[in-house]
Amino acid sequence: MLFTPPLTPGILIRRYKRFLADVDVGGRIEVVHCPNPGSMLGLDTPGAKVFVSRSKNPKRKLPLTLEIVDAAGALVGVNTGRANTIAEEAISAGLIETLSGYGTLRREVRYGENSRIDFLLQDDGRKDCYVEIKNVTLSRQAGLMEFPDCQTKRGAKHLAELANQVSQGNRAVMLFVIQRADGDRFTTARDLDPAYAAAFDHARSAGVEMLAWMCRLSESKIELERPLPFDV
């Protein structure tokens, strides 16, 4: 996924009201959209170097968007909306071997109990494959990537929906897109959300396939790089 033009550096002043941040961009304090509903644990420290994008829409109220935070030298993509684009490009390119070879990829397809699946992969002679994407930014130990960074009832619901698809004879995949490049293993943050961890365990035992892929990031692009093993 390319940033055109490349991102602009800045200094984080503060994050507030969840979706807003004040950023020093070239000596000017700008109110920036922060597209991350999570806690951003460890990533909202005042004084951190950040990178922002600028919208091409002249009517947008907040033209700048927080994209990347430099966490002690590790670039971390905090825009959760980018995860689906990153994943779709990788799937379409055949990078994720277990998800390759499907003829069609449909986005935001309704399924289950008032839910939408991120991607539905379909092909003649193969089971339908339901793929849910989650953006990962949390790391509290060197090399260990974690999800979630706060409680997420919605995330637990998605796991239950995927398990239900397996019971109906379909494939179901949870793909964790880790928007940082300093990891060597992945786990669930059981202390932050025990209910999600329990839902993860149930879904995995029910046959939901769990994948975790780490990204390579710069101010000009983000792309999936390699899978990480699970430490759960």
Question: Distance (Å, rounded) from C-alpha 138 to C-alpha 148?
Answer: 7
Are 96 and 213 within 8 A, CB to CB? yes
For residues 76-91, give the mean pLDDT.
97
Report whether pLDDT(232) > 90: no
CB atoms within 10 A of CB 219: 17
Residues 185, 130: Cα–Cα separation, whole Å: 24
Band of pLDDT at residue 78, cut at 50, 70 and 90: very high
Instruction: Pick the closest to residue 100 from 173, 168, 166, 178 (CA basis).
Output: 173
Average pLDDT over every residue of 75-102: 97
The CATH topology of domain 82-227 is Trna Endonuclease; Chain: A, domain 1 (3.40.1350)
What is the predicted pLDDT for the residue at 26? 96
- Asked if pLDDT for residue 79 goes beyond 80, the answer is yes
CA distance 210 to 230: 9
Q: What is the mean pLDDT of residues 63-73?
A: 96
- DSSP character for 62? S
Q: Quote the radius of gyration of the chain (alpha carbons, Å).
A: 18
CB atoms within 10 A of CB 33: 19
| Structure tokens that stand for 31 in this block | 């109110």
> H/E element holding 85?
helix 82-92
- Determine how β-strand 209-217 pairs with β-strand 171-178: parallel
Looking at every residue in the chain, the average pLDDT score rounds to 96
Using CA atoms, how far apart are residues 25 and 146, in angstroms rounded to an integer?
30
Average pLDDT, stretch 67-80?
Answer: 96
Mean pLDDT value across residues 62-74: 96
The token duo for 107 is 């986005």
- Whether 70 has a pLDDT exceeding 80, the answer reads yes
With 0.85 as the threshold, say if the pTM is over it: yes
d(CA 107, CA 178): 20
Which residues of the chain form CATH 3.40.1350.60?
82-227
Start-end of CATH 2.40.50.580 domains in the chain: 8-77
Report the distance separating Cα 129 and Cα 171, nearest Å.
Answer: 4
145-191 tens-digit pLDDT? 999 999 999 999 999 999 999 999 999 999 999 999 999 999 999 99
Residue 113 has pLDDT above 90, yes or no: no
Count of alpha carbons within 13 Å of 98, Cβ hemisphere only? 14
Q: Is the pLDDT of residue 143 over 90?
A: yes
pLDDT at residue 108, rounded to an integer:
96
**What CATH topology corresponds to 8-77?**
OB fold (Dihydrolipoamide Acetyltransferase, E2P) (2.40.50)
